[in-house]
Structure 1
Amino acid sequence: MNVASIFSDMPGDRPCLLFESAVSSYAEVRAAAAGVRARLEAEGVGRGDFVALILPNGPDFVTGYLGVLSLGAVAVCINPMLAAAEIAFILADSGCRLALAEGEVAGWLSLSGLRVVDAGAPGGGGPWSVEDVPDAHPAAIVYSSGTSGRPKGVMLSHGNVAFTARSKVRYMGVTGADRLLLFLPLHHCFGQNAILLPGLFAGACVVLQRRFDRAAVLRSLRADGVTMVFGVPTTFLALEGRIAPADCPAVRYWFSAAAPLPLEVEERWQRHMGLPIHQGYGQTECSPFATYNHAHSLRRGKVGTAIDGVELRIVDPVDGRELPPGEAGEVVLRGPNVMLGYLNRPDDTARAIRQGWLHTGDIGRLDAEGYLSVEDRLTDLIIVGGRNVYPAEVENALYAHPAVAEAAVYGVADPFLGEEVWANVVLKPGAGVGAQELEALCRSSLAAYKVPTAFAFVDALPRNPTGKILKRELRAAAARPSAQDPAGREPGAAPGVGLETWVRDWLGRHLNLSPDAIERDRAFAEYGLDSVLGVALARDLAAPLGRPVDLTVVWEASTLAGLLARLRETGAASAGACAVPAAT
């Protein structure tokens, strides 16, 4: 079936999207998607053509996605916050015919010569119609960072996507009366396939937000009748202690995925809120739903059993031998959720899918009842606030500096983000470079959440007898209580430097902006400061202030003026050069 056909029979007067206080009915969303389809057809787009969706969260992404799929074309979903070089690589790798984009992104894409269609332009497209395609026809390509340092396009079929949406509806119990809160990025498989499409398949209303903003989330929970909430572990850490059952009277369901949820957080949430945080397991390569921790027999600390239609095994990562319950090994799975493969990468596909089994690269174990716990990774993948970072991609950026002889990038456990990115660097003899210069180099070509938060300059990297860098040793050393932060941590303010100047410089460096361009009353989010960078700024503020601050203070304040005022109110700023000036 064509996934877009889900709209064909939905009652037109039923609310479909709630976005910034505006409600769009299923009939209105159908009409807008038909308009996108008509504009694409006028550009010559047809069955099998690749169309880039470089759009932020909003109704335009939803109607653009459905308009593309209705033609039998393929939606190539790209994070609009990626660096220009990263977007350019994906466009070239996928061979997109044109892009659906808006704002500044649409402007520079047009200048680059790519044909751009305004996703939000008004215009009727006639009656809603859908091209019939087989289940194996590609529906969407979602890019994830590759082990070689180049992003890989995960090809998901209409069958993959429909299977996941139906399974989610069944296991989560979604009905047409539900309101699903969606602030996770729609360009990501989680937002698309595990929240948006299940909501639409059930005829529910999707309460859509641009991004995670704690204050906006709390307002919505109180005012919008939200019944189901989906997040990553960082979401629940950010809400914990600031929410009570009375703040979300209609919520009946909480769900976390994309990264391990600490058991302590899971247990505290259950005690305080009276409802569990449900969990599942999957990857983009399996659409991304493979296991579910069932409400009728919830197991804390586990991610559930295989969903119907999916087979799950634990195998020896060396010889592929299936292991008995209780033994740790690589998680492998097969079923209608497994991707078609990686776009233009047959060798990578062959390594990932062997004899029909997807090798996940995750280490886990099954208990006697078939419940899965995920404990480690075979790969060196880093997960920062639910976002994947492959070290090789960051290392490639570091190797672009002429002073760098070797680089090893690895993840270090972080109680708020799950992990943060650290880098150990060996310099060439006689060469010199500072942490800030390497940071700036990375920021010029990588999305902000991929940039190392700390650099250590070392004489050598640990290796095994075959010469492979032992990143497990680097992670273990960083986890030891006696371990010191690498030398590249954010420095304190220089004598005589005010805190406002320090914050402006920090924002300018991390967002590739002139410090003078930061307006005191403009929301940080408008400059591209996401939740991961917000935590990083809060953590780094400890240096000029001489004491730690609440890691959520940047989200609470939301503007430069608000941040300075909040720090002054809490007495976090010390007297002297770094005293917080009064807002003007």
Structure 2
Amino acid sequence: MQPCPAPFNLADHVLSAGRDTPDKIALAVLGPTRAERWSFARLEAAVRAVAGGLLALGLTPGAHILLRLGNTPEFPIAFLGCVAAGLIPVPTAEGLTQPELDKLTPLVAPKTILAAPGLALPTSPPCPVLTDLTALMGHAPADYVMGSPDRLAYLVFTSGSSGTPKPVAHAHRAIWARQMMWAGWYGLRQDDRMLHAGAFNWTFTLGTGLLDPWAIGATALIPAPGTPPEALALLLRRHDATLFAAAPGVFRKLLAGDAPLPLPTLRHALAAGEKLPEALRSRWQAATGTTIHEALGMSECSTFVSGSPVRPAPEGTLGYPQPGRRVAVVTPDGAEVAPGETGILAIHRSDPGLMLGYLRQDGPALPLSGDWFLTGDLVSAEPDGALSYHGRRDDLMTTGGFRVSPLEVEAAFQTAPGLIDCAAAPVEVKTDTTVIALAHVGDATEAALRALAEARLARYKQPRLYIALPALPRSANGKLDRRALAHLLKDRT
């Protein structure tokens, strides 16, 4: 792809396409009886007004602004308003508790907190807290602060699934790099209507659900807060969605019944956040007549491997590196593995979508092994270049001296009658003895599950414990929390 132009501002780039169609709907927040709609002209006016209001408070470019906002239009307006003004927004999940915020806030040292009423705040906020964004939206507009595309634009926290969340520093150029996803994953068009089922403050929603559609001049559709997953099919039909994006857990809930799921305007769906089971993809195809294209990504680089309408992923694989990406399969010391061998998926330091680094007091630091950033995802390359996924390096289970991927275990049960959801995790049953446990949701019997395991898995991969649960621990966006699952199963044994 072409290098990012300079000078550059992420917010200016996101909103520039909409200037050609100022009256077109940029954002619709879909409620049960009505939708709140924002045109491109109204959206940009609000973004520039917020930028002006923040600068009028005496904040200077480079200051960190903690966002404690919910799933309302104020969130993307505040995010882009900060970026437009050269300030550094730090989105946070709506459901974070006060103790969690007490740990995270010092890591980013905010100068101001923009907060929605009722959301948790740090115990002793280290800076002013603003709760009236309406007043900011009434301010005189500011011009976009232009500069190097390599300068810091925003901070996001990692999920913390393998430990304490870390602040990830992204440059303005990150939005330019996302164009590699438009053809390499979405098949995104200006006339699209993208419905995303996640919360605004999730990087998957922020990028795929909002910023990318706006950057091409398309419409973003977001369910109103509190919308149950079961209502999404009606919203997809009622609002003529052409693309639908969600975590696999949301697709699973939409397919809870066996009836067809007619979605006449939908071209295809998009999944990310965790590995999509092949059985779930097949069930979606049967119910809707459309395909799910999956992508692998992370907070540090968004998505970079995917299937797409023009190059679907071969069955059982993630798909291909997106055109323009430079990735490799390497050893822990950064040496490329032999073709077909399993190794760590790595991103070259030159990728324009790669983070500046993890924020430290002295600035961002990018951990590298040679010229490669190691993602922690284990993959192997097929002869045609497609990548097969073998799980997270830190998720592998060790039992009887063998290393086992939970994904391989879980895949064996996806067709079990009556099974709604399942996940595998290691459980220590006594000192120095760890076994594989399968947590399962639904009406599948233990006998039926054991029979499937014996037929499809080597003995060392078979679960020794089968634990029925009312639901698996998942985030608000449907992503499985493996750390919480491991604690839950330990308490049950």
Scaled to the shorter chain, the TM-score interval is 0.7 to 0.9
Q: Taking structure 1 as reference, are residues 45 and 8 closer, same or farther at Cα in structure 2, changes over 3 Å only?
A: farther
Q: Taking structure 1 as reference, are residues 216 and 484 closer, same or farther at Cα in structure 2, changes over 3 Å only?
A: closer
| Partner-residue secondary structure (3-state), 1:296 | coil
Question: Which residue in the other structure is 1:120 paired with?
Answer: 133
Contact map agreement 1:31 1:128 (CA 8 A) in 2: no
Q: Which runs of 5+ in 2 are unaligned?
A: 1-7, 398-404, 415-419, 440-460, 481-493
| Partner-residue secondary structure (3-state), 1:61 | helix
Cα deviation, residue 131, structure 1? 0.6
Question: Which residue in the other structure is 2:109 paired with?
Answer: 95
2:253 pairs, out of 238, 246, 249, with: 238
| Partner-residue secondary structure (3-state), 1:373 | strand
1:135 aligns with 2:117: no
Counterpart amino acid of residue 200 in structure 2? L
Counterpart amino acid of residue 115 in structure 1? P
| Partner-residue secondary structure (3-state), 2:303 | coil
TM-score after normalising by structure 1: 0.65
Structure 1: distance between partners of 2:260 and 2:266: 9
Contact map agreement 1:72 1:131 (CA 8 A) in 2: yes
CA deviations over 1:501-525 (Å, ceiling 9, x no partner):
xxxxx9xxx9xxxxxxxxxxxxxxx
Cα deviation, residue 162, structure 1? 2.5
Structure 2: distance between partners of 1:369 and 1:411: 26
Matches within 5 A, 1:227-376: 227-242=242-257, 247-286=262-301, 288-298=302-312, 299-317=314-332, 319-334=333-348, 335-344=351-360, 349=365, 352-376=367-391
Q: Percent identity?
A: 25
Matches within 5 A, 1:409-488: 419=423, 459-462=430-433, 473-475=434-436, 480-483=462-465, 485=467
Counterpart amino acid of residue 127 in structure 2? L
Q: Which runs of 5+ in 1 are unaligned?
A: 383-409, 425-457, 463-472, 491-505, 511-527, 534-584
Structure 2: distance between partners of 1:529 and 1:257: 14
Question: Which residue in the other structure is 1:23 paired with?
Answer: 37
Q: Which has the larger radius of gyration?
A: 1
| Partner-residue secondary structure (3-state), 1:310 | coil
> In proportion to residue count, which structure has more strand?
2
Question: Which residue in the other structure is 1:190 paired with?
Answer: 204
CA deviations over 1:307-326 (Å, ceiling 9, x no partner):
12211211233x53312321
Structure 2: distance between partners of 1:145 and 1:307: 23
1:7 aligns with 2:15: yes
Structure with the bigger RCO (C-alpha within 8 Å, sep 6+) is: 2
Structure 2: distance between partners of 1:157 and 1:23: 30
2:183 pairs, out of 161, 170, 188, with: 170
1:161 aligns with 2:175: yes
Matches within 5 A, 1:197-216: 197-209=211-223, 210=225, 213-216=228-231
Structure 2: distance between partners of 1:421 and 1:293: 28
| Partner-residue secondary structure (3-state), 1:330 | strand
Structure 2: distance between partners of 1:477 and 1:126: 58
Contact map agreement 2:334 2:370 (CA 8 A) in 1: no
Question: Which residue in the other structure is 2:165 paired with?
Answer: 151
Q: Taking structure 1 as reference, are residues 218 and 9 closer, same or farther at Cα in structure 2, changes over 3 Å only?
A: closer
CA deviations over 1:469-488 (Å, ceiling 9, x no partner):
xxxx44479874441549xx
Contact map agreement 1:30 1:128 (CA 8 A) in 2: no
Contact map agreement 1:184 1:212 (CA 8 A) in 2: no
| Partner-residue secondary structure (3-state), 1:320 | coil
Q: Give the aligned CA root-mean-square deviation in angstroms.
A: 3.3
Contact map agreement 1:315 1:322 (CA 8 A) in 2: yes
Question: Which residue in the other structure is 1:444 paired with?
Answer: none
Contact map agreement 1:183 1:211 (CA 8 A) in 2: no
Structure 2: distance between partners of 1:201 and 1:348: 27
Q: Taking structure 1 as reference, are residues 365 and 9 closer, same or farther at Cα in structure 2, changes over 3 Å only?
A: closer
Structure 2: distance between partners of 1:274 and 1:58: 32
Structure 2: distance between partners of 1:138 and 1:41: 18
1:221 aligns with 2:221: no
CA deviations over 1:193-242 (Å, ceiling 9, x no partner):
22211111111111112366223312211211111100111111111154
Structure 2: distance between partners of 1:153 and 1:22: 32
Counterpart amino acid of residue 247 in structure 2? V
Structure 1: distance between partners of 2:295 and 2:152: 25
Q: Taking structure 1 as reference, are residues 354 and 347 closer, same or farther at Cα in structure 2, changes over 3 Å only?
A: farther
Q: Taking structure 1 as reference, are residues 281 and 481 closer, same or farther at Cα in structure 2, changes over 3 Å only?
A: closer
Structure 2: distance between partners of 1:275 and 1:153: 37
Structure 1: distance between partners of 2:211 and 2:234: 24
Contact map agreement 1:138 1:157 (CA 8 A) in 2: yes
Structure 2: distance between partners of 1:422 and 1:371: 29
CA deviations over 1:416-471 (Å, ceiling 9, x no partner):
566477875xxxxxxxxxxxxxxxxxxxxxxxxxxxxxxxxx55245xxxxxxxxx
Q: Taking structure 1 as reference, are residues 418 and 313 closer, same or farther at Cα in structure 2, changes over 3 Å only?
A: farther
Contact map agreement 2:180 2:324 (CA 8 A) in 1: no
1:58 aligns with 2:72: yes
CA deviations over 1:376-395 (Å, ceiling 9, x no partner):
2222389xxxxxxxxxxxxx
| Partner-residue secondary structure (3-state), 1:105 | coil
Aligned residue-pair number: 422
Contact map agreement 2:17 2:214 (CA 8 A) in 1: no
